[in-house]
């Protein structure tokens, strides 16, 4: 074995050691890289305007960090407050004589024929509303504790973001030098990683926030109780594959129909279908994502598989990893076709 081969084995071992030590912060490192890819245009403009790339990078990273911390704090405070008020309104409506109780009794009256009491169903719904209130507080407490425990992860995410903003070109050149692949293939894979990361993060976050804001407007205009809470719930539900925001605005529209607001209910359902879903998914998301995409089956595998394996971060990491895997297969297929042709 030559000295070069021994050094190659040591280099491989060094990579394994680095990956092992970085594993606890893998989510933060990945999110930091994706944020760097997404905010690269902002950094470029600041650097061009100020003439100081490092200062522009620090300003971008600090602004992103403040936005993340502020969003978490706002989510915990607003979500819990609005959740408690919302469930209180639902429980009030489910009391005897309330609009929701009368509606539920009307719809479930036929169940009495098979021995199921509508009153028991109403009582179960009231108990479920109480569980939502207590569960929301528990979720908020969990988020708060995770946030305190994840400050180190946030630090690594912001540090990774700074490295990507300032040194991405150098990273590409270095990896291309040491990679066993051809330089053009290595550069193509890294560029695919940057493109897919930007698309995934911007498409998920920006579209979700937009859908939440548009849904909040619809809830407020049509008079749905606690529109801010339901708007936040809509933004969160946008992460759920397939059904997504339908989990929130469809029940809201049915609630308006149940309490006798026929016009408002129709408007809410139409707003949800045409604006929250139609405008966001067919106007905003394509502008963010462009023509990039994967077959539907791979998209669902990436989302559900990432969620199952990695938890909530898998909703972002799953599509990125799947896109990179597809890119590798495309490179291999291109090389195989070239080999057969020669």
Cβ-proximal residues to 173 (8 Å cutoff; 6+ apart), any chain: none
Structure tokens at 3: 């000295």
Q: List, for residues 155-187, the tens digit of each pLDDT value.
A: 888 999 999 988 888 888 888 887 777 888 888
CB neighbours (10 Å) of residue 212? 24
- Where do the domains of the chain lie? 182-336
Structure tokens at 4: 């070069």
Backbone angles phi, psi at 273, to 5 degrees: -70, -45
The residues of the chain scoring below 70 in pLDDT are 1, 75-150, 241-243, 285-296, 312, 338-342
Whole-model pTM: value is: 0.67
Q: How would DSSP label each residue in 97-139?
A: T-HHHHHHHHHTGGGGGGT--HHHHHHHHHHHHHHHHHHHHHH
């Amino acid at each position: 074995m030559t000295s070069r081969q021994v050094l190659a084995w040591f280099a491989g071992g060094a990579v394994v050691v680095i990956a092992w030590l970085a594993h606890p912060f893998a989510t933060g490192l990945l999110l930091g890289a994706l944020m760097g890819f997404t905010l690269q245009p902002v950094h470029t403009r600041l650097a061009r305007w100020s003439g100081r790339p490092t200062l522009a990078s620090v300003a971008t990273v600090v602004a992103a960090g403040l936005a993340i911390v502020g969003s978490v704090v706002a989510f915990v405070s607003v979500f819990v407050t609005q959740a408690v008020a919302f469930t209180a309104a639902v429980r009030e409506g489910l009391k005897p004589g309330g609009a929701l109780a009368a509606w539920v009794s009307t719809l479930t009256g036929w169940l009495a024929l098979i021995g199921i009491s509508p009153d028991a169903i109403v009582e179960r719904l009231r108990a479920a509303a109480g569980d939502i209130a207590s569960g929301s507080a528990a979720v908020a407490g969990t988020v708060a504790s995770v946030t305190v425990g994840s400050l180190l992860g946030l630090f690594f995410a912001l540090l990774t973001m700074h490295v990507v903003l300032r040194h991405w070109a150098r990273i590409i050149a270095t990896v291309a030098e040491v990679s066993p692949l051809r330089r053009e293939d290595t550069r193509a894979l890294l560029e695919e990683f940057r493109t897919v990361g930007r698309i995934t993060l911007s498409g998920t976050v920006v579209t979700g926030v937009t859908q939440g804001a548009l849904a909040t407007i619809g809830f407020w205009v049509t008079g749905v109780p606690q529109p801010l809470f339901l708007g936040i719930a809509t933004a969160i539900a946008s992460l759920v594959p397939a059904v997504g925001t339908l989990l929130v605005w469809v029940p809201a529209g049915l609630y308006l129909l149940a309490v006798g607001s026929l016009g408002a209910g129709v408007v809410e359902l139409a707003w949800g279908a045409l604006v929250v879903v139609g405008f966001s998914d067919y106007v905003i998301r394509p502008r963010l994502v462009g023509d990039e995409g994967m077959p539907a089956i791979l998209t669902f595998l990436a989302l559900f598989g990432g969620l199952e394996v990695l938890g909530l971060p898998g909703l972002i990491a799953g599509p990125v990893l799947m896109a990179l895997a597809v890119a590798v297969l495309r490179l291999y297929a291109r090389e195989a076709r070239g080999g057969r042709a020669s």
